[in-house]
Structure 1
Amino acid sequence: MRQHPQIEVVARDRNGGYRQAISEALPDATQVADRWHLLQNASDAFLAAVRRAMPVIRRTVCSAELDPGTLTAAERLQFEGFQRRQKTNVLIQRMGAEGVPIKRIVRVTGLSRGLVRRVLRGEREDVFRLRQSSLTPWFPLLEQHWQDGCRNGAELWRRLRANGFQGSLRVVGEWATRQRRAEAAIPHGSGKSPPSRKIARMMTSGRHHLSKADSICVAQIEHALPQLAQDRRLLDAFTSMIRNGEESGLAAWLDQAKTSGLAAFARGLSADLDAVAAALRELGPTARQKARSTG
């Protein structure tokens, strides 16, 4: 670096002595914290928070009951169907163990011969997954309107259309019908806790993109551990800041994070604040505008 004094900006990791080396070789250069490492450090901090909470998570996920208020209406309906399928699986496996012919099992259950064979081979364990459709990306907005009191399928469809939805009225109407049926569903716990890394991954994915069993698990955890749910929201906010170059929100984020499960990570950012702020500026609207004007 001393051989290239014309360098004005240096991107670096936040560890390993790079900060000191750059300061000595190029004291006037702007140091920018590498954005990939910032995102990785934030993910690691959230994983650490999940690991600290694992004793409570195990007790929560293995509990017998789940508060219906922690689930969306679609999740309640899907979980009810999942329970029915699991009971059918148990029935088929018990009949198979007793030597009941497949033909008779098919007649008793009403399922196809191929499906019965898959159950007997143990290939139909968890089918608790939300079917993807044109409506899938719109579930959060639908849930919001539903919770606000809009229960009419046609009105829900009109509201989605106003926001760019291109699907049919029938699809939205069927969704509304399923929500009304789901209101009375009473779910139960899933019984087994996944490992901490999987929990962190599930919590940082949208619940509508998870299998329904995983979605139920996340709902249980966030209901029992509101602080961990807040940590996840802080992680989401930090990720958004980094990806969009929103330097103006950094100070407020650090203030919120200092009493959270990400407090150690926030202290590290504060100690390297100039480089972190520079990383946001380099990606922010002003930097992008300059790049367009000179490109």
Structure 2
Amino acid sequence: MGGVGVVIELWVRRFRCDNAGCPAVTFAEQIAGVTTPHSRYTPLLRGTLTQIGLALAGRAGARLAASIGITAGRDTLLRMVRSVPEPDVGEVEVLGVDDFAFRKGRHYGTLLIDMATHRPLHLYDGREGEDLADWLRGHPEVKVICRDRSSGYGEGARVGAPQARQVADRYHLWANLGQAVEKSVNAHRSGLAEPAPDDAGEPLEAEPAVVQSPKELKIVTRLRDQHAAAHELWEQGMSKAAIGRELGLHQATIRKLVNARSADDVVAKSLQRAHVVDPYVGYLHRRWNEGVENAAQLHREIQQLGYPGGELAVQRHLRRYRSGRGHAPASGPKPPSVREATSWIMTHPEHLREADADKLHRLRERDAELDRLTGHVRKFAAMMTGRHGDRLEDWISDAEQDTLAPLASFARNLRRDLDAVRNGLMLPYSSGAVEGNVNRLKMLKRQMFGRASLDLLRKRVLLAR
């Protein structure tokens, strides 16, 4: 107390058992609230350490306990957490289901949430529909199941709780639509650039120097080589996993390379990534053509215009023009990236900045398919925000009949899960509480420093507040 160690001496009675058949020869009197048999901690101290373990897990919890004068190792804290009984599930009418990653791309688990109280109910290994069905059979009171569009969860909910209404989460619907829009925009990426005006003003002074074509970027060369190698092995009959081992690349990268029809499809995405120098490219090229080739000076000049990056990025941008020692090519504004154009289409018109709205308007005027794509997206958004699920089938039919293949594929997938999607567009339920608990679970898992056994993680998720 007050930084001074205190020892409390208790005088208790010890009893001797006269029954020869009793295994306890002697036993000591217990003081309620202070002592328990075979325990080194009082109930109050044990409860304090358990709460520290639930909040901070082992290492961080042990450090906090030491700072307040309690000696307890990390394993002791974890054992205390494991010994706490799990809370009773009780009656659940609206259930939320989502997966989370123990190791992304490799190992997943499933989290169940009571949507009325936002309280975690259960956590189990894997994301198979059979496990969900087994849990639902023990809870016939479930009336609504909020889930993502996983076919496994859909089948598990249908088998385990045929009486429940399945609701597809609107966030996942919008995210899936965004992926289809991005694929559609990527197919039209060559038309994203503004057409060059006929007479763009006075030309720069003519000089005899001949501009050499800039050398191809190393990343472009590497992507072309990887694409060619992956397709060669794929045509030989090798699996994607085997190709990944052969080339030393991640399976996701191999999947991207194999699914790309040409190397240009892969290269285009890399080249269109927004860069910190992009807004100042026109100024840099003009100053270069005026004879200013010092990267440090150009860096200082664009800093005064608001450039937030470093000098190294400017050096890298100018490096491609130094070998020819001629004029940099005439440079207009960089065409929008696929993701930028996608964000314009996916954003509510009232929330678009005026400049972006103007760019989208001109883009729609130039490309009829992107104009129709924008119309489809805005109809879907109005249907989703206004809860007009009765319009879903008409929207699906219109999208399927359009020539936009990714959008048509998205529409066909909606038809496979039609009832759940329609419920998601009509009912007030959402998986927002599930996503919030999944994010909290990720934080709890990171605190465990690799000691995230399933039973310990389940206790922390179900009991931590």
Normalization by structure 2: what TM-score?
Answer: 0.34
Is the 8 Å Cα contact of residues 147 and 169 (structure 2) preserved in structure 1? yes
How far does residue 248 in structure 1 lie from its aligned partner after superposition? 2.4
Task: For residues 60-92 of structure 1, give each alpha carbon's deviation from its aligned partner in whole angstroms, at most 9, with x where no partner exists.
Answer: x152139xxxxxxxxxxxxxxxxxxx9999999
Separation (CA, whole Å) in 1 of partners of 2:399 and 2:413: 11
Q: 1:95 to 1:246 in 2, by over 3 A?
A: same
Look up the match of 1:45: 180
Match for residue 120 of structure 1 among 264, 278, 301: 301
Task: For residues 87-125 of structure 1, give each alpha carbon's deviation from its aligned partner in whole angstroms, at most 9, with x where no partner exists.
Answer: 999999999959xxxxxxxxxxxxxxxxxxx99345438
Question: Does 1:281 find its partner at 2:426?
Answer: yes
Map 1:96-135 → 2, pairs under 5 A: 120-124=301-305
Look up the match of 2:367: 225
How far does residue 9 in structure 1 lie from its aligned partner after superposition? 1.0
Question: Does 1:246 find its partner at 2:362?
Answer: no
Separation (CA, whole Å) in 2 of partners of 1:119 and 1:259: 54
Map 1:180-191 → 2, pairs under 5 A: 191=333
Is the 8 Å Cα contact of residues 178 and 346 (structure 2) preserved in structure 1? no
Using CA pairs under 8 Å that are at least 6 residues apart, name the structure with larger relative contact order, 1 or 2: 1
Separation (CA, whole Å) in 1 of partners of 2:424 and 2:191: 37
Q: 1:277 to 1:93 in 2, by over 3 A?
A: same
Question: Does 1:192 find its partner at 2:320?
Answer: no
How far does residue 221 in structure 1 lie from its aligned partner after superposition? 2.1
Look up the match of 2:415: 270
Q: Given residue 63 of structure 1, which amino acid in structure 2 is its aligned partner?
A: P
Separation (CA, whole Å) in 1 of partners of 2:188 and 2:286: 37
Look up the match of 1:256: 398
Structure number having the greater helix percentage? 1
How far does residue 190 in structure 1 lie from its aligned partner after superposition? 5.3
Q: Given residue 176 of structure 2, which amino acid in structure 1 is its aligned partner?
A: N
Structure number having the greater strand percentage? 2
How far does residue 231 in structure 1 lie from its aligned partner after superposition? 0.8
Map 1:1-295 → 2, pairs under 5 A: 1-57=136-192, 61-65=193-197, 120-124=301-305, 191-205=333-347, 206=349, 209-210=352-353, 212=355, 214-260=356-402, 261=404, 262-283=407-428
Separation (CA, whole Å) in 1 of partners of 2:351 and 2:290: 35
Separation (CA, whole Å) in 1 of partners of 2:283 and 2:188: 35
Q: Given residue 419 of structure 2, which amino acid in structure 1 is its aligned partner?
A: D
Give the secondary structure class of the aligned counterpart of 1:283: coil
Give the secondary structure class of the aligned counterpart of 2:392: helix
Q: 1:246 to 1:96 in 2, by over 3 A?
A: same
How far does residue 21 in structure 1 lie from its aligned partner after superposition? 0.7
Is the 8 Å Cα contact of residues 96 and 120 (structure 1) preserved in structure 2? no
Is the 8 Å Cα contact of residues 364 and 370 (structure 2) preserved in structure 1? yes
Give the secondary structure class of the aligned counterpart of 1:10: strand
Q: 1:88 to 1:276 in 2, by over 3 A?
A: closer
Look up the match of 2:118: none
Q: Given residue 209 of structure 1, which amino acid in structure 2 is its aligned partner?
A: L
Normalization by structure 1: what TM-score?
Answer: 0.52
Is the 8 Å Cα contact of residues 390 and 422 (structure 2) preserved in structure 1? no
Q: Given residue 141 of structure 2, which amino acid in structure 1 is its aligned partner?
A: Q
Look up the match of 2:275: none
Give the secondary structure class of the aligned counterpart of 2:166: strand
How far does residue 234 in structure 1 lie from its aligned partner after superposition? 0.9
Equivalences, count: 182
Q: Given residue 223 of structure 1, which amino acid in structure 2 is its aligned partner?
A: E
Q: 1:16 to 1:251 in 2, by over 3 A?
A: closer
Is the 8 Å Cα contact of residues 208 and 215 (structure 1) preserved in structure 2? no
Separation (CA, whole Å) in 2 of partners of 1:219 and 1:49: 17
Is the 8 Å Cα contact of residues 238 and 253 (structure 1) preserved in structure 2? yes
Q: 1:40 to 1:93 in 2, by over 3 A?
A: same
Q: Which runs of 5+ in 2 are unaligned?
A: 1-135, 199-280, 294-298, 308-330, 430-465
Fraction of identical pairs, as percent: 26
Aligned CA RMSD, in angstroms, stands at: 3.6
